Amino acid sequence: MARIVSVASKLRRDRSRSLRRGQTRAEVRLWAALRAGRLEGWKWRRQAPVGRFIVDFLCLEAGLAVELDGGVHGEQAARDARRDADLRQRGLTVLRFWNVGIEEDFEGVCWRILSACRESDPARRGRRIDRRA
Instruction: Give residue limits of the domains in the chain.
Output: 7-124
Instruction: Give CA–CA dist 122/4, Å, rounded.
Output: 34
| Per-residue confidence band for 122, with pLDDT thresholds at 50, 70 and 90 | confident
- Per-residue pLDDT at 67 exceeds 60: yes
pTM attached to this predicted model: 0.80
Instruction: Give CA–CA dist 24/4, Å, rounded.
Output: 33
Q: What is the mean pLDDT of the chain?
A: 84
- Per-residue pLDDT at 133 exceeds 90: no
Percent of the chain at pLDDT exceeding 70: 71
**Side-chain half-sphere CA neighbours of 71 within 13 A:** 0
Rg of the chain over Cα atoms, rounded to whole angstroms, equals 15
2-30: string of b/e by CB count within 10 Å (b at 16+)? eeeeeeeeeebeeebeeeeeebeebbebb
> What pLDDT is attached to residue 120?
85
The strand ranges marked E within the chain are: 45-50, 53-59, 64-69, 93-98
Are 79 and 128 in contact by the 8 Å Cβ rule? The answer is: no
Mean pLDDT of 42-55: 91
> What pLDDT is attached to residue 23?
81
Mean pLDDT of 80-107: 94
Q: Which CATH superfamily is domain 7-124 in?
A: VSR Endonuclease (3.40.960.10)
